[in-house]
Amino acid sequence: MIYNLDKINEMAEGDQDFITSVISVFLEEVPIDLEGLEKAIAERDYENVYKLAHKIKPNVDLLGMEQTRAIALEIETLGKNADNMTQIEEKFPVLKKDVLQVVAELQKDFNL
């Protein structure tokens, strides 16, 4: 398991519906953002690379995915400059793998 619910549990104060809601939003939004990020990288659209990495970052942070958050931050920072696309292309597969793994784990763990 590469996710951790400590931050969500702290926010939820025992409200299981809140936890399920946060997980559901993650499962709905992050795969779409990840797909958009992959497309932006393929199209060398560094402005959207920056925006989408920025959008993904707090979602993975909320799930305690520190390594994934760090990679999203790197991609976000690199996305500020079109000259960094090669580095972004090198880092993206790790982000994608981690996010897809967590999506599968969350779907299984929460029956969503």
Rg (CA), the chain: 14
Entry pTM: 0.92
Q: Give, rounded to a whole angstrom, the gap between the first and last alpha carbons of the chain.
A: 17
**pLDDT computed for residue 87 by the predictor:** 97
Residue 107 has pLDDT above 80, yes or no: yes
Q: Which domains does the chain have, with CATH numbers?
A: 6-105 (1.20.120.160)
**pLDDT computed for residue 63 by the predictor:** 96
Q: pLDDT tens digit string along 19-41?
A: 999 999 999 999 999 999 999 99
Span 97-107, average pLDDT? 97
Q: pLDDT tens digit string along 52-90?
A: 999 999 999 999 999 999 999 999 999 999 899 999 999
**pLDDT computed for residue 1 by the predictor:** 65
Stated as kind and residue range, the H or E segment containing 15 is none
